Amino acid sequence: MNQDVFSSLYSPLHINGVQLLPLQAEHEQALVDVCKDGSLWELDYTSVPHYSQINAYIAKALELKSQGLRVPFVVLDQTTGRIVGTTSFRDFVWDVRRVEIGYTWYAKSAQRTHINTSCKLLLLRYAFETLQANSVVLRTDIRNLKSQKAIERLGAHRDGILRQDALRKDGTVRDTVMYSIVKEEWQGIQRYLTDLLMHSS
């Protein structure tokens, strides 16, 4: 697994009316609107910036992309034509073929829908089948119970807690809950998520 395989990500990924498009500067207003849908910046334990900081958020994501450290997307709901969120591949450990899914946030109106499940199925499929990953990692703030439930609903294994791991936006230090899916689990999880989407559509 190496950075060369990401060249194919310039082609959009899509499933079940959900499309992942490479994040670009032109998506600023769309992500401002996403941020305002539910006042997402008010949650200190998420990575969502204030809507006035979206320009800087995109610039940082694209800088990390140029360094091979992050592959950011916007999430397009093809049924409405609206961008409803963002997500990324990050924290690549090429020697052991590990990749993380992170920086994920959605408009409130897109939460508790099939959007997140569809996005995760797309990203997991790409990670395990194109990147040939051994493991995919997900993490969240210990205070973010909604995120923990969403990750566990995917079938990810809760590996443990990294205590005093990172700073929140409000300056407090958070504990981080770590999850993973390994390649031996992928086929079963893929069938499970596909079935889940069939019954939620």
User: In this structure, what are the phi and psi dihedrals at residue 155, rounded to the nearest 5 degrees?
Assistant: 100, 10
The pLDDT tens digits for 131-168 are: 999 999 999 999 999 999 999 999 999 999 999 999 99
Residue with more model confidence, 7 or 99? 99
Taken in order 9, 52, 139, 190, the sign of the CA dihedral is negative
Flag whether pLDDT at 98 surpasses 50: yes
User: In this structure, what are the phi and psi dihedrals at residue 11, rounded to the nearest 5 degrees?
Assistant: -90, 130
pLDDT band at 12 (very low <50, low <70, confident <90, very high): low
Q: How far is CA 189 from the centre of its chain?
A: 17
User: What's the confidence (pLDDT) of residue 133?
Assistant: 95
Cα separation, 122 vs 74, in Å, equals: 13
Residue with tokens 């924290």, as numbered in its chain: 91
Mean pLDDT (whole number) for 18-45: 95
Mean pLDDT (whole number) for 40-53: 91
Query: pTM (2 decimals)?
Result: 0.92
User: What's the confidence (pLDDT) of residue 159?
Assistant: 98
Yes or no: say if 115 and 18 are a contact pair by the CB < 8 Å rule.
yes
* CATH code of 139's domain: 3.40.630.30
User: What's the confidence (pLDDT) of residue 182?
Assistant: 98
Mean pLDDT (whole number) for 65-80: 94
Cα separation, 111 vs 92, in Å, equals: 27
Phi-psi region of 39 (alpha: psi -120 to 50; beta: other; left: phi over 0): left
The pLDDT tens digits for 99-115 are: 999 999 999 999 989 99
The number of folded domains in the chain is 1
User: What's the confidence (pLDDT) of residue 3?
Assistant: 52
Yes or no: say if 189 and 124 are a contact pair by the CB < 8 Å rule.
yes
User: In this structure, what are the phi and psi dihedrals at residue 27, rounded to the nearest 5 degrees?
Assistant: -85, 5
What is the extent of the structural domain holding 39? 3-200
